[in-house]
Amino acid sequence: MKPQNKSCKAYQTLLVKYVDDALTPEEQRRLEEHVQQCPACRHDLKEFEKIKGVKPVMKKRFLPDMLWEEYWNHLYNRLERGIAWILISLGAIILLGMGVFHFVTEVLEASDLSTLEKAGILALTAGFVVLFVSVVREKLMIRKHDKYKEILR
């Protein structure tokens, strides 16, 4: 798929859209007119038609559902994933907490705040760190189970 000249570059995109059945009627008309006049693009169109012909019979290869069910039935596999998420969450909390802690301690050392106010600032920032990690984990879990994730919005 190498365009012969600069004007063919725009039509290469239309050829890809043709394979995906994503051409508008106007784009279809423009492509047909160009292909009548351009032997290189006509050749590319024939190649793309071959691809389009076999595309419906091509399938993604996934592991069978039975194999996945067997995998998740084992206690070790479930524990392994759970422990990994706990360690990732804990590590994120510790690192974010330390970063926020250093920032807050510098602010607290530079100001004349009471002990109660300092404790409040520390509790507030620690709460934000834990909440942040929790929200990120939730979004990752929802994304993993979102049946509409491949649909463009």
Q: How far apart are CA 83 and CA 87, in angstroms?
A: 6
If one counts every other C-beta atom within 10 angstroms of the C-beta of residue 31, the result is 20
Q: Which residue type is seen at 19?
A: V
What ranges do the domains of the chain cover?
6-57, 65-145
pLDDT for position 3: 46
Q: What is the pTM of this model?
A: 0.35
- pLDDT mean by block of 10 residues, the chain; 153 residues: 63 79 85 86 83 66 64 72 86 85 78 80 83 86 70 59
Q: What is the DSSP string of the chain?
A: ---SSHHHHHHHHHHHHHHTT---HHHHHHHHHHHHH-HHHHHHHHHHHHHHHHGGG-------HHHHHHHHHSHHHHHHHHHHHHHHHHHHHHHHHHHHHHHHHHHHHHS---HHHHHHHHHHHHHHHHHHHHHHHHHHHHHHH-TTTTS--
pLDDT for position 115: 79
Q: How far apart are CA 24 and CA 54, in angstroms?
A: 22
